[in-house]
Chains A and B, each alone.
Chain A
Amino acid sequence: MSPLAIETRNLGRIYKIRGNKKEKKVLKELEALADVNLQIEQGELFGLLGPNGAGKTTLIKILTTLLAPTKGEAFVAGYNVLNEPQLVRPRINMVSGGESSGYGLLTVRENLWMFSQFYGMPSKEANKRITDLLKLVGLGDRINTKSSDLSTGLRQKMNIVRGFMTDPDVLFLDEPTLGLDVSASRDVRALIRNWLEEHKKRTLLLTTHYMVEAEELCDRVAIINQGKVLACDSPVTLKKRLQEDVLFEIKTSRLNGLTPDSLEALPEVHTASLCELEDGALLKLALVEESALGPVINTLSEKNIAILNLKKLEPSLEDVFVELVGHSIAEAEKAEANE
């Protein structure tokens, strides 16, 4: 088993909401994280999925040494984030979506160079890496533009380059594609994949609202809500858990007297439903095993029913999320906005 890049043991964080300056008493306590146990291997691209206020950013703040946990322990690259921050920091970097870091009067190159110096990078090497990475994210022609003159999306690309530039062992990306258009998001996802492929020991922890992004990129995801990890596994396994049957949707020619009962009588066919269409029919099957599809196709063939289209239906990560949390991220955000 490969060594761990990130580990949390019963990690918890309680925020104290205080009253006004005069009273200074704690009005209420807000549990942002509760008993979070995660083990992330080196080389993994790990996703954290959850609605606003789920505890994703709190977890990242603890792992990046910006916030102390009130309970439990956390380790990054093998070092305790609370007791050994000086050993954690050279090995990490972080980019948050929508951040406005850097100085507007500096150019893109100057801003990135400044941050590279805080990591001790030689200027020559830093400048080369900055140029290469900016080209990769499609920002090469803006290298000498003042960062105050960049659009929100381009500025976010600059921030993303800042994170990758120092080549950390563990990179934390907190909603990195927030506010980016489709093409820019694709560039960033490509950069993430290339960066991880270049070195198998690099680890990336990503928080995102976008299920498709998590599904496309992540080796494993943890679904987090109200400070608790509800599930943690690969997207494929999580989806499998949700769906016990294998679902197929088959578009056929006219049915020639075929009934659902005759299909359900076949071994390992759980349910079958038929729907007549103008130019044929739509057959929906729930099978215990995928292998049960063979006898179904044979039956159709015997009845001279042609198969026009065959589609395997799989639940999305969004379906898994709704099943676990009780609502989608979009619904949660809409409710929050209404409040």
Chain B
Amino acid sequence: MNKTAQVKETSPGTDNSTKVTGWRLFLKTVIARAYPRLIGQQREKSWMFFDIFLPMLAVSSYVFVYRAIQAPEDYVGFAVMGGAMTAFWLNVLWGMSSQLYWEKEQGNLALYIIAPNQMMAILLGMALGGMLATALRALAIIFLGSVLFKVGFVVTSFLQLFSVFMLSMTALYGMGMMMASLFLLLNREAWHISNLAQEPIYLVSGFYFPINSFPFWIAAGASIIPLTLGLDAMRQLIFASGPALGFVDVRTEIIVLLVLCVVFLVGAKFLLAHMEKLAIREGSLTDSRR
């Protein structure tokens, strides 16, 4: 027996017996990585200003335009919903996609990689923490917007509304996880790409107006961003004039969102494995200062 074979029999060494593996390790990793995002909410209160007050200004400007041109009152609700959903888009763009770049610069990425956990669990933790933290901001915007602008909601199906929201979030954060994998190989370009993607998506995803205002193919193309269809479906389900202003019917949107969920999550898993391999080969996993 050679030396290498001998050591395999004696490892793992010291007190590894109490450490969990498999799905329990996966779950522990998800919770642990979600923790900083959730605790950050309590420790850094500045988000209340930047993530609620500032988006409310954007919502207000659309509300005043709609009222000035005497648009149907549901358009005010559309703008409030869009303002709330903006928080999720910004979180995916800055808190998910570019995150691995920042983690690399900080030195955390190398530590995530050398740990026995799966990187998918790290990404899921980031997504879960980000989603829960952002949900609070989105709810605050909906509440404030509804009170300030007297928005009237007519929910036709709570079950469908819940399904659409969950599917939108799963697909959106799945997309964020996929983008994070792509950004793994980038350095400062990650920041520029996120900056570049921010505003155009506000426009084509119809954050502040119904997506059916666009020609069909533009709206269909924009549907690759899960919030486009998610927002359109939610508006159809909670506003009286929603179905008349919808892009396609809610059932179709649910099916497309389901497909997007699978595509993005499976894509993220494979892309992450591929990008990790590539980054190890190229030597781009550790921060650029070292």
Contacts and interface: CB of A to CB of B under 8 A. Distances in A.
A99 interface: yes
B199 interface: no
B39 A106 contact: yes
B171 to A, nearest CB: 27
A68 B280 contact: yes
B29 A117 contact: yes
DSSP majority for the B interface?
A: helix
A72 B243 CA distance: 64
A202 B107 CA distance: 25
Interface residues of B, number: 48
A30 to B, nearest CB: 11
B157 interface: no
B235 interface: no
Interface stretch (A58-66, A250-258, A274-282): A58-66
Interface string A1-40: 1011101000001010000000000000000000000010
Contact of A101 (B7, B106, B117): B106
B192 interface: no
A91 B32 contact: no
Interface string A36-69: 0001001000000000000001000100111110
Nearest to B106: A100
Contacts of A146: 43
A120 B21 contact: yes
Contacts, number: 148
A119 B290 contact: no
Interface stretch (B12-20, B58-66, B81-89): B12-20
Interface string B104-133: 001110111111110000100000000000
Interface residues of A, number: 54
A125 B32 CA distance: 15
A91 B281 CA distance: 22
A114 to B, nearest CB: 5
A98 B44 CA distance: 26
Interface stretch (A75-83, A135-143, A177-185, A297-305): A75-83
B283 A86 contact: no
B116 A118 contact: yes
A99 B290 CA distance: 10
A114 B126 CA distance: 13
B19 A120 contact: yes
Contacts of A96: 107, 290
Given A4-B3, A7-B4, A119 B116 contact: yes
A72 to B, nearest CB: 14
A63 to B, nearest CB: 10
A199 B3 contact: no
Given A77-B11, A114-B32, A125 B280 contact: no
B134 to A, nearest CB: 17
Given A7-B4, A15-B283, A169 B18 contact: no
A66 B35 contact: no
Contact of B3 (A3, A122, A169): A3
Contacts of A75: 4
B36 A103 contact: yes
A208 interface: no
6 contacts: A3-B7, A39-B3, A101-B107, A103-B40, A118-B122, A122-B19
